[in-house]
Amino acid sequence: MVLHQEQKYNTNVSSFKQRKFRAKHIIFLFICAAVIIALVIALIVILLNKEVVEEITIEHRWPSPSNSLLLEFQKGAVAADNGICSEIGRDVLIKGGNAIDAAIATTICIGVFDAHSSGIGGGHFSTIYIKKDRRCFTVNARQTAPKAANESMFVGDAEGSLFGSRSIAVPGEVYGLWLQYKQFGGKLPWRDLLMPTANICRYGILISDALAVKLQENENYILSPDSHLKIFINPETNGAYKAGEVMRRPELADALEQLANAADPVQLFYNGTMAKDMVEEFKQMGGIITEEDMRNYRAKLSQPLQISIGENLIACGPPPPSSAAIPMAIMNIMDGFNVSPRDAESSESEALVLHRFLEAMKFSYAAHSQFGDADFVPEVLSLAKKILTKQYAQDVRKKITNRSHESSYYGELYTSRPNHGTAHISVLDAEGNAVSLTTTINTYFGSKVRSTKYDIIWNNDMDDFSTPGLTNFFEYPPLPNNFIKAGKRPLSSMSPLIFYDQTNGNVKLVVGAAGGSRIISTTAWVAFRSVFLNETIKEAVDRPRLHHQLSPNRAYYETLFPQVLTILLGFVDDLKNYGQNMVPTEPATAATGILVSDNGVISANSDWRKGGGYPAGY
């Protein structure tokens, strides 16, 4: 009897435990369901309520920093597209050279490491700031059309302006660098500026990622029987050189050494044995550049265009045929909107600022369609000065509404030819002098013609001119002010800028970019974010970019990092609400810049987009 009662008791206990377990299980499931429902409700609220999103942080709107280096220096810095070249420029500064000397050495170096973009077969624009004078100067070493050139020479032969010896314009690189050396440099012997790169050519060039990409893209041509670029074939692999491999260019080393040892390199290159040899090669290939063309070439020292920004800053850049007036005009327009770092504290306010930036860009690019060589079209200089006035900027701001408009609303719709193969160098020295220099051979590997004796890759800047009757893909007519004439320089997107504080004479920003027609918008973008939004130079360079050149009427935004598609979508949607035609695009430009803080710390950055670039200084 007792046993029976104990069994009954145990059975009841077991049943009670089972019921208790089931109750706990049901409660646990109920709690889980409640948590899931709460999370779903919270997510819906966040998605529907932008104010909740804004309370997270402003960091959610932009990608994580790239792996490019933001380096800080106390005395001087060089920021180039290639780190080895930045170091060569830095070494010049340490040895007592000034910013101009360092820029020359760096430019010669870039012409080797970025052989697809620049070299002594091309030309450049530079903006120079001399602190003791508190003045900017500009050098126009843009290539010129040969005497035998005319505006109809490429009618019916569009490829003739892109490839071959007829596409070559008279090069200006050597003349421009020597002019700057004689006028503003000379702290070190000329030879010391060229020989580091000459020795690299002789003993080994490390192929950069940027050059390797373009070699691979052009490998079919490089390997073809008629190629002029067989120098880029690795004899060990019988393919184009790849990143990390080492090549030698002994003929170019000899050419650079001749120029380094010359008492007057301009005489040698433009009127001496080198000129005669090069012209003979042009003639054998059906080219039209003569000894007279070489002898008559002149780089120009000229007064800069200038604007005031805010209370204290002055921005300087070269006049047309450079396009520096366009990013300067964009900055001038945005200055009147009183943009400050507070505008980046919410996505709504920043989206409005970005909309206005796009609108300012459209009006400015409309003026760009009327640019050309001011020596041949004098009214171009007047136009460039006009769009930099405070009155013009005020008039444009009145036209900027909270809606985008048709292209005709903004002005002319002529089109110019885009250039692609460029490189930019920014330099600041211990004395406060600065150089902003952009150099080019136009499209990648220029004309794809190479001097067999001197291993110089020649530009194809004849393609930067417009040709009558040759409309672009969007059926807009060519730019009359940019038609070919003997001795004329084609319009360029190159826009090297320097900003300095007029109260103390200190440089604030040295900036420029490479990358065709988007040089203009990139230069404006980096300057805008550095000056108005108070970002570091790395932040300003890293930021995904916006570009609008009016024709076509599309606002391009970069898709750089995986998170951009979600982070930028808020901005993209907001800008669409302003009527902007938003189109994603891959990175197409590379900027370099130097920014100086109010307490004198020098920070520098080379754009990660090109690969292989980093700044150097001391």
Known binding residues: 142, 440-442, 464, 492-493, 516
Distance CA 238, CA 218 (A): 14
Answer yes or no: are the C-beta atoms of 267 and 294 closer than 8 Å.
Answer: no
Question: To which residue do tokens 């309520």 refer?
Answer: 49
Distance CA 129, CA 178 (A): 17
User: Burial level of 213, CB count in 10 A (0-12/13-18/19+)?
Assistant: middle
Nearest partner of 592 among 497, 528, 507, 516, judged by Cα: 497
Q: Where is 191: in which H helix or E strand?
A: helix 190-203
Nearest partner of 604 among 530, 543, 538, judged by Cα: 538
Distance CA 418, CA 518 (A): 9
Question: To which residue do tokens 């409660």 refer?
Answer: 27
Distance CA 185, CA 228 (A): 35
The total number of residues written for the chain in this structure:
618
Distance CA 143, CA 544 (A): 32
Distance CA 513, CA 423 (A): 7
Answer yes or no: are the C-beta atoms of 246 and 208 closer than 8 Å.
Answer: no
For the chain, state the CA radius of gyration: 29
Pairing state between β 434-442 and 497-501 = unpaired
**In the annotation, is 422 catalytic?**
yes
Distance CA 161, CA 184 (A): 35
3-state secondary structure 316-357: EECCCCCCCHHHHHHHHHHHCCCCCHHHHCCHHHHHHHHHHH
The alpha carbon of residue 444 and the mean position of all alpha carbons in its chain are separated, in whole angstroms, by: 15
The answer to whether the Cα torsion of 390, 395, 401, 405 is positive or negative is negative
Nearest partner of 440 among 519, 378, 557, 521, judged by Cα: 519
Answer yes or no: are the C-beta atoms of 459 and 451 closer than 8 Å.
Answer: no
Contacts of 407 (CB under 8 A, 6+ apart): 362, 413, 550, 551, 553
Answer yes or no: are the C-beta atoms of 448 and 229 closer than 8 Å.
Answer: yes
Contacts of 308 (CB under 8 A, 6+ apart): 314, 315, 502
Known binding residues for L-glutamate: 142, 440-442, 464, 492-493, 516
Answer yes or no: are the C-beta atoms of 526 and 593 closer than 8 Å.
Answer: yes
Contacts of 612 (CB under 8 A, 6+ apart): 81, 82, 83, 113, 208, 209, 210
Which residue in the list 106, 138, 144, 422 is annotated as catalytic?
422
Locate 522 and state its tokens.
Answer: 């990139």
Query: Which alpha helices (H) appear in 387-475, and where do they start and end?
Result: 390-399
Question: To which residue do tokens 């503003």 refer?
Answer: 184
Answer yes or no: are the C-beta atoms of 107 and 289 closer than 8 Å.
Answer: no
Question: What is the set of active-site residues?
Answer: 422
